[in-house]
A = this chain, B = another copy of it.
Amino acid sequence: MEFIIQRDSLINTIATVSKAVSSRTTIPVLTGIKLVASTEGIILTGSDSDISIEEFIPVEKEGEVIIDLIEPGSIVLPSRYFGEIIRKLPGDQVKIKTNDHLTITITAGKSEFNLNGMDAADYPRLPQIEENRVLSLPSDLLKTMIRQTAFAVATTETRPILTGIMWKLMDSELTFVATDSHRLTMREAVVESPDHLTFENVVIPGKSLVELSKILLDDSRLVDIVITDNQILVKIDHILFYSRVLDGTFPDTSRIIPKNGKTLMNLNTKEFLGAIERASLLAREGKNNVVNLVTRDDNSVEVYSVTPEVGKVIEEVNPVSLEGEPLRIAFNAKYMIDALRAVDSEIIEISFTGAMSPFIIRPSDYNKILHLILPVRTNQ
């Protein structure tokens, strides 16, 4: 293998595929990045066996020559060193050439690196994906849907299925659901999809989707998503992003969403978020970060927390509207903060069904987002 490549292109591509490389893998070859050079261009691959990212650099891009291929071939290079070397080399071009016995020489200007590699034949094959079920989504919509749900996945492996985000497509409505069993978040979107295309219980690890969202651009260009029973493949320009799909059945969450609220309030999102953040300042260390919310007779809402060793906070919030039964409830401030930060609307609507029942937070002007939080029992 021997080629000369624009350094910039190579830096960007290494940065992309490195997102899939984990230093904690037990499979030595996966600490590396696979390079395959052919007459069309170079393919780089990184993988931690959960996620794999492959990016293709074409020989020519928009009329500009990116790669001068001298001899095709392949190798796996240690990702940490390879990335740092390419970033720190001088000049605009880099020459990469394999020697006998799995070493390569990287040259740029008056710099010469000899690096030990591994055999590309030992690198695991990427999953073979049948492209029967393909959904096209605007890049920015997919990115937003991930941002608005990924925070709610379980971070412990007690119930592995809850570490994923459940995807469902029914009647052209795409739904993402995430829950850690203390709170739940649901995001829906009407999408253009082939009539026959429906799926449910496609549960993708939250971590995979967070990595994917780092690659997704903030524009409305379409990305293709191929869905199979055990893998998804997302195609973004010259990038192929693979993630495994979790085994198991995601809990049916539709039944736990209460239908009839007994106390309804509309609140200014920013003002309420500020009050909750302050109320949680002292509570964070004790008692699971619990804050209390009480409706007052004068139609205002009080948010408070008490941490005897440190002190207490009382926040008064004036809701835009307040209806229904008086209420006294306690909840984890972090869940509320996460939910409020994920909402882009000015006003939110909270619907409570008593002190011991889950409550619902929705943007007041947009019914495609729903957050549900389970309250906490408290003696205060």
- Interface, chain A (partner B; CB < 8 A): 78, 81, 84-85, 88-90, 103, 110-116, 274-275, 277-278, 281-282, 309-318
Contacts of A111 in B (CB 8 A): 275, 278, 313-316
| CB atoms of B274 and A315 under 8 A apart | no
Residue of B nearest to A89 (CB): B278
Q: A112–B274 contact, CB under 8 A?
A: no
From known contacts A103-B311, A110-B316, infer whether A274 and B90 are also in contact, taking CB-CB under 8 Å: yes
**Residues in B neighbouring A318, C-beta threshold 8 A:** 110
Residues of B within 8 Å of A112, CB to CB, are 313-315
Which B residues are CB-close (under 8 A) to A277? 88
Q: What distance in Å separates the Cβ of A301 from its nearest Cβ neighbour in chain B?
A: 10
The answer to whether A113 and B312 have CB atoms under 8 Å apart is yes
Closest-by-CB residue of B relative to A280 is B88
Task: Given A81-B281, A85-B278, A88-B278, output 19 extra A-B contacts at Cβ < 8 Å.
Answer: A78-B310, A85-B281, A90-B274, A110-B275, A110-B315, A110-B317, A110-B318, A111-B313, A111-B314, A111-B315, A111-B316, A112-B314, A112-B315, A113-B278, A113-B282, A113-B312, A113-B313, A116-B309, A116-B310
- Max count, chain B CB within 10 A of own CB: residue among A84, A274, A311, A318: A311
Copies in the complex: 2
Determine the chain B residues whose CB is within 8 A of the CB of A113 once the complex forms.
278, 282, 311-313
By a CB distance below 8 angstroms, the chain B residues around A116 are 309-311
Which residues of B lie under 8 Å from residue A103 when comparing CB positions? 311
Closest to A107 in B: B314
Q: Please name all residues of chain B whose beta carbon is closer than 8 Å to the beta carbon of A281 when the two chains form the complex.
A: 81, 84-85, 88
Most chain B CB within 10 A, of A88, A111, A316, is at: A111
Min Cβ gap A274→B in Å is 6
